[in-house]
Amino acid sequence: MDDWLKDSTEVEASWVTVDLAIFTIRSGQLMVLLIERGVEPFLGRPALPGGYVHKNETLREGALRELREEAGIDGNKLHLEQLGAYGDPRRDPRGRVVTIAYLALGPDLPAPVGGTDARRAYWAPVSQLEGKQAALAFDHPAILAEALEQVRSKLEYTAVATAFCSELLTLSELRTVYEVIWGQQLDPSNFRRKVLNTTGFVKPTGDQRFPPTGRPAALYRRGDAWLLNPPLLRGAGHTA
Amino acid sequence: MDDWLKDSTEVEASWVTVDLAIFTIRSGQLMVLLIERGVEPFLGRPALPGGYVHKNETLREGALRELREEAGIDGNKLHLEQLGAYGDPRRDPRGRVVTIAYLALGPDLPAPVGGTDARRAYWAPVSQLEGKQAALAFDHPAILAEALEQVRSKLEYTAVATAFCSELLTLSELRTVYEVIWGQQLDPSNFRRKVLNTTGFVKPTGDQRFPPTGRPAALYRRGDAWLLNPPLLRGAGHTA
DNA sequence: AGGCGTTTAAGTCAATGTGACCTTTAGGGG
DNA sequence: CCCCTAAAGGTCACATTGACTTAAACGCCT
Model pLDDT for residues B156-179, shown as the tens digit of each residue: 999 999 999 999 999 999 999 999
- Mean pLDDT, chain B, whole residue set: 91
C-alpha torsion angle, residues B75, A19, A123, B8 (rounded to 10) = -160
Residue A238: the pLDDT is 58
The tens digit of pLDDT for each residue in A129-152 reads 987 766 999 999 999 999 999 999
Return residues with beta carbons within 7 A of strand D.
Answer: A 187, 189-190, 193-194, 197, 208, 210, 212-216, 230, 232-233, 235-239; B 170-172, 188-190, 192-193, 211, 213-218
A41 and A123 Cβ atoms separated by less than 8 Å: no
Residue A47: the pLDDT is 96
pTM exceeding the 0.85 threshold for the entire prediction: yes
CA/C1' separation B190–D6 (Å): 15
Grouping H, G, I as helix, E, B as strand and the rest as coil, residue A171 is helix
| B187: DSSP letter | -
Using the C1' atom of nucleotide D15, identify the protein residue whose alpha carbon is closest: A230
Q: Do B1 and A51 touch (CB under 8 A)?
A: yes
Q: Which residues of A touch B39 (CB under 8 A)?
A: 2-4
Kindly tell me the sign of the dihedral angle through the C-alpha atoms of A37, A40, A42, A48.
negative
Q: Is the pLDDT of residue B8 over 80?
A: no
Residue B1: the pLDDT is 43
Chain A nearest C-alpha distance from B208 (Å): 35
Query: What is the maximum span of chain B, computed from C-alpha positions, in angstroms?
Result: 71
Average pLDDT over residues B41-50: 94
For residue B81, give the chain A residue with the closest CA: A84
Backbone torsions φ then ψ of A106, nearest 5 degrees? -150, 165
Grouping H, G, I as helix, E, B as strand and the rest as coil, residue B165 is coil
Which ranges of B188-237 does DSSP label H, i.e. alpha helix?
188-197
Residues of chain A scoring pLDDT < 70 = 1-9, 114-118, 133-134, 236-240
Residue B5: the pLDDT is 44
Instruction: Give the type of residue at A208.
Output: Q
Higher local confidence (pLDDT), A39 or B110: A39
Residue B3: the pLDDT is 45
Average pLDDT over residues B123-149: 92
Cβ-nearest to B16 among A50, A98, A137: A98
- Opening angle at CA A231, ends A227 and A234, nearest 5: 130
The helix-helix angle for B140-157 and B171-182 (nearest 10°) equals 140
Average pLDDT over residues B66-92: 94
Q: In sequence order, what are the beta bridge partners of B233? A: none
Grouping H, G, I as helix, E, B as strand and the rest as coil, residue A192 is helix
Grouping H, G, I as helix, E, B as strand and the rest as coil, residue B180 is helix
